[in-house]
């Protein structure tokens, strides 16, 4: 991935002749601490006679753009015809080539001229909340024929001005050309792209350059499965700039990013990751993230199926989130905006507590049966199991007591017989 701020140098151009019906291959040489970017290639031909261009004459490269073309026929003649006029023609083709190798093919019947400019780059500058600061040294650009700072920013940002080491400010212009130390200097200032020449031949200005950049906040909106905003989402941003923030009452989180690049953004809600997005570029538009967040209705009932008012319902998940509510007159507690995950539901009424586990994958209603059969004043609730156990104990005690009495009666009768 290419950096968004570059120091680009152009080496001294080379002029060559490519003979008729031949080809030549050129490769970028290694340059210490610099990366190869490509070439500017200009092909041209001047010859007598009518204009004739072979369409197969040109270049071959892994990635190239055909950016310029001009051609013309013209007469060379004097005021007198003592020397007859000479019909001439010329044509020029210009290419921008990315990569380390370019091949020039000349399929004409005459020689072809080529001008080749090798181009190298290195990442430059430091991104700050106010813009980009680039320090250029003589050691960086001293051996180059020409050098430029090139800056590109995403649609969410706008380059407003360039401050030169001399203090001069370039702003409110798109294309700027001026005389400079016996030669010329250019700058281009567009909304999302800018460049300034820092060396041209012997003319050079080293020092600190500042590109003032206005960044709009990146706006994310988190909504649930019904489209309602989710408040309190913990937003973590990882990339050239790392930060954390929270979504507001409207579900919106505004992220102040001031450096281009690839960003990974995650949203965590109630202990669960509900959204994850990777942004390769920062667009000037709101991003709406629909999240797997749903509502849960818990109905608490007795052993006979009657609703239980005033029961405490507590839900917990593995993310450490816990929430408690009391059931209403209908025995229902509604938990709104819960993320998809596994939950433990505990319904408590006085001394009785019942647990169940669910995995929430959509709006859901769960009925929790507490097993309560009776709610006796002073004693409190008694479950059906407890009632059965108590009944069984009473029966056993009754049988034992009855057996003892029968045994005594039998013993007395036997004594009387003696």
Q: How many residues does the chain have?
A: 418
Closest to 118 measured CA to CA, from 253, 24, 28, 7: 28
- pLDDT on residue 290: 98
How many angstroms separate the CA atoms of 206 and 55, rounded?
A: 44
Q: Determine the CATH number of domain 224-290.
A: 2.60.40
Characterize the bridge pairing of strands 146-152 and 157-163.
unpaired
- pLDDT on residue 397: 41
293-376 has the same fold as 224-290:
yes
Q: Is 105 left (phi over 0), alpha (psi -120 to 50) or beta?
A: beta
**Regions of the chain where pLDDT drops below 50:** 392-418
Q: What Rg do the C-alpha atoms of the chain give, in angstroms?
A: 42
Is-contact 86 35, C-beta < 8 A?
no
- pLDDT on residue 31: 87
Q: Determine the CATH number of domain 293-376.
A: 2.60.40.10
Structure tokens at 382: 């008694």
- pLDDT on residue 389: 57
Q: Is 294 left (phi over 0), alpha (psi -120 to 50) or beta?
A: beta
Q: What is the 3-state secondary structure (H, E, C) of the chain?
A: CCCCEEEEEECCCEEEEECCCEEEEEECCCCCCCEEEEEEEEEEEEEECCCCCCCCCEEECCEEEEEEEEEEEEEECCCCCCCCCEEEEEEEEEEEEECCEEEEEECCCCCEEEEEEEEEEEECCEEECCEEEEEECHHHHCCCCEEEEEEECCCCEEEEEEECCCCCEEECCCEEEEEECCEEEEEEECCCEEEEEEEECCEECCEEEEEEEEECCEEEEEECCCCCECCCCEEEEECCCCEEEECCCCCEEEECCCCCCCEEEEEEECCEEEEEEEECCCCCCCEEEECCEEEEEEEEECCCCCECCCCEEEEEECCCCEEEEECCCCCEEEEEEEECEEEEEEEEECCEEEEEEEEECCCEEEEEECCEEEEECCCEEEEHHHHHHHHHHHHHHHHHHHHHHHHHHHHHHHHHHC
Q: Is 410 left (phi over 0), alpha (psi -120 to 50) or beta?
A: alpha
Beta-carbon contacts of 233 under 8 Å, excluding residues fewer than 6 positions away, are 222, 246, 247, 251, 253, 267, 268, 269, 274, 275
**Cβ atoms < 10 Å from Cβ of 240:** 14
Q: Which residue has the tokens 């709009």?
A: 216
- pLDDT on residue 382: 83
- pLDDT on residue 402: 47
Every domain of the chain and the residues it spans: 5-122, 124-215, 224-290, 293-376, 383-417
Structure tokens at 371: 């097993």
- pLDDT on residue 376: 76
* pLDDT tens digit sequence for 257-279: 999 999 999 999 999 999 999 99
């Amino acid at each position: 991935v290419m950096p968004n701020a570059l120091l680009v140098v152009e080496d001294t151009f080379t002029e060559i002749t490519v003979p008729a019906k031949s080809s030549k291959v050129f490769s970028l040489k290694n340059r210490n601490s610099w990366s190869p970017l490509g070439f500017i290639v200009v092909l041209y031909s001047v010859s007598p006679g009518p204009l004739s261009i072979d369409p197969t004459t040109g270049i071959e490269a892994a990635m190239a753009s055909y950016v310029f073309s001009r051609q013309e026929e013209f007469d060379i003649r004097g005021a007198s015809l003592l020397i007859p006029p000479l019909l001439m023609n010329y044509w020029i083709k210009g290419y921008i080539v990315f990569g380390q190798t370019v091949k020039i093919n000349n399929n004409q019947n005459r020689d072809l001229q080529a001008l080749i400019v090798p181009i190298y780059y290195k990442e430059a500058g430091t991104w700050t909340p106010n813009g980009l600061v680039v320090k250029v040294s003589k050691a960086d650009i001293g051996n180059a024929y020409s050098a430029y700072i090139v800056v590109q920013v995403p649609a969410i940002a706008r380059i407003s001005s360039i401050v030169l080491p001399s203090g001069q400010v370039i702003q409110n212009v798109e294309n700027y050309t001026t005389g400079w130390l016996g030669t010329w200097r250019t700058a281009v200032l567009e909304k999302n792209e800018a460049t300034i020449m820092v060396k041209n031949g012997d003319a050079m200005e080293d020092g600190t350059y500042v590109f003032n950049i206005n960044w709009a906040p990146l706006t994310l909106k988190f909504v649930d499965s019904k489209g309602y905003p989710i408040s309190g989402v913990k937003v973590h941003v990882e990339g050239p700039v790392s930060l954390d923030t929270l979504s507001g009452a409207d579900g919106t989180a505004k992220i102040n990013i001031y450096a281009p690049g690839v960003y990974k953004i995650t949203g965590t809600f109630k202990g669960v990751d509900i959204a994850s997005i990777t942004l390769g570029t920062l667009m000037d538009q709101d991003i709406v993230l629909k999240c797997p967040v749903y509502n849960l209705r818990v109905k608490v009932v007795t052993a006979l199926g009657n609703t239980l008012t005033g029961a405490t319902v507590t839900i917990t998940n593995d993310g450490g989130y816990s929430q408690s509510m009391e059931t209403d007159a209908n025995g229902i507690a509604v938990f709104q905006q819960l993320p998809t995950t596994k939950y433990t539901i505990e319904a408590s009424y006085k001394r009785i507590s019942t647990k169940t586990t669910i995995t929430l994958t959509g709006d859901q209603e769960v009925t929790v049966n507490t097993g309560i059969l009776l709610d006796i004043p002073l004693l409190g609730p008694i479950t059906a199991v407890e009632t059965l156990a108590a009944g069984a104990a009473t029966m056993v005690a009754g049988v034992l007591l009855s057996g003892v009495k029968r045994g005594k009666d039998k013993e007395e009768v036997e004594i009387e017989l003696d």
